[in-house]
Chains A and B, each alone.
Chain A
Amino acid sequence: MNRLNVELKFTAMLLAFAAAIPLTASAQQKLLPAQSEIAFVSKQFGVPVGGKFKKFDAELAFDPKKADAARVSFTVDLLSADIGNNETEAELKKPGWFNSAKVPQATFTSTSVKALGGGKFEFAGKLAIKGISQPVVVPVTLTQNSGVTKAVGSFTLKRLDFKIGDGEWNDVSIVANEVAVNVKLALTGIAPL
């Protein structure tokens, strides 16, 4: 435990120096999972079918005033996908879809963050699912209220870019290629906008 703490602190210090962010700012930044949501909507034969991921986490080193230096990384537990329907969930775990038994996590790692003004930011980064990495740009709007920063963003990914729904499922007239991802996060420890 102590060794872990020392290592964490050391890593945090390195990050802080690298990002030129005061140690206290980056060390306290946390995601509040209970108030956060990562949801997605895909279309089956024209029917919107939505789901949520129940388990995900983020590591942040983000100062709204120094967006250029921000670093954000996400991990999403693909096995935690909740579609509200056992059959579809079982299907989603299969190798043709998420292959989540083999590659259980999706990750997002920011490569550049741009401040657009008015609480709006653009997070560009790499999204990796099933071991396939693709660039994505996520527009995010931040609002702050009594110490909690709410970040809301959405983007659309093309499932076939990640080989999600491979083989017989690659017919996009049955399951559309576009999948909307809607992210709502509650964060603490973010410096004022």
Chain B
Amino acid sequence: MITASFAVGLYMVSLTMSPSRIKLYNWHKWAGMTILTLAALRLYWRLTHRAPSLSASMPRWQAFAAQATHIALYVLFFAVPLTGWMYSSAAGFPVVWFGLIPLPDLVGKDRELAELLKPFHWMTAYALASLVVLHILAVVKHLVMDDDNLLGRMLPSMNGEKS
């Protein structure tokens, strides 16, 4: 969903004003609000459940990098949709989730504030996209190069969850 939202986001800002652009913007916002909700559920789960420990054979720099990336990912899961929501509010477009549920405006309608917020949304989005790529590359590395069954941690049968 994050990948799709990012792709739609990149595409929609390149369009000139048109009915399909309005549709894409709204779909993008619905996806963003859904990601925000899932991020909250995910964080709640993570805070109430311990992540399975990393293999003791993992080099310390790798364990540290993994930890840092995961924290950054969690921060961005919230930061990207929240900056988008704030920007949308400031630009005078309230978010109506799935076209059904009107969400409150996070900030008042303010032209200058909207321009100020806009770069934060795309900067956090690019950061998140970069970390997703980094995360996937790390997965591939562990799977192909290390063959260390790191992904086994994600399986519930091992009493663990993806961290």
**In the bound complex, CA of A166 to CA of B96 (Å):** 25
Q: Which of B38-91 contact A (CB under 8 A)?
A: 91
Give the CA-CA distance A50 to B100 in the complex, in Å. Answer: 18
Selected interface stretch from B4-12, B108-116, B137-145, B148-156: B108-116
Establish whether residues B26 and A85, one from each chain, have CB atoms under 8 Å apart when the complex forms.
no
Q: How many residues of B contact A (CB 8 A)?
A: 19
- Chain A residues, CB < 8 A from B94: 47-48
Residue-wise, chain B 4-41 has the 8 Å CB interface mask toward A (1 for contact) of 00000000000001110011001000000000000000
Tell me whether B19 and A171 are in contact (CB under 8 A): yes
Q: How many A-B residue pairs have CB under 8 A?
A: 48
Are the CB atoms of A46 and B111 closer together than 8 Å? no
B126 at interface, CB cutoff 8 A: no
The residue on A at minimum CB distance from B17 is A91
For A168, give the chain B residue with the smallest CB separation: B19
Q: Which A residues are in CB contact (< 8 Å) with B125?
A: none
Query: A46 and B96 in contact (CB under 8 A), knowing A84-B110, A85-B91, A85-B111?
Result: yes
Query: In the complex, which residues of chain A have a beta carbon less than 8 angstroms from the beta carbon of B92?
Result: 49-50, 83-85, 88
Please tell me if the beta carbons of B22 and A174 are within 8 angstroms of each other in the complex.
Answer: yes
Complex Cα–Cα for A91 and B93 (A): 15
CB distance from A135 to the nearest CB of B (A): 29
If A45-B26, A174-B23 touch, whether A87 touches B17 (CB-CB below 8 Å) is yes
Q: A49-B92, A84-B109, A84-B110 are in contact. Are A168 and B99 (CB under 8 A)?
A: no
Which residues of chain A from 114 to 140 have a CB within 8 Å of any chain B CB?
none
Q: Distance (Å) between the CB of A98 and the closest chain B CB?
A: 14
Q: Which residues of A contact B109 (CB under 8 A)?
A: 84
B95 within 8 A of A: yes
For A169, list chain B residues within 8 Å (CB): 19
Residues of A within 8 A of B102 (CB): 48
Does A143 lie at the interface of the complex (its beta carbon under 8 Å from any beta carbon of B)? Answer: no
Give the one of B19, B94, B111 with max A CB within 10 A.
B19
Q: Which residues of A contact B110 (CB under 8 A)?
A: 84
A44 and B22 contact, Cβ closer than 8 Å, known pairs A84-B110, A85-B114, A87-B17: yes
Asked whether any CB of chain B lies closer than 8 Å to the CB of A86, the reply is yes
CA distance A175 to B22 in the complex (A): 9
What are 13 contact pairs spanning A and B, CB under 8 A?
A: A45-B22, A45-B99, A46-B100, A47-B95, A47-B96, A48-B94, A49-B93, A84-B91, A85-B91, A85-B92, A86-B111, A169-B19, A175-B19
Top 3 A-B pairs ranked by shortest CB distance?
A: A84-B92, A46-B99, A174-B19
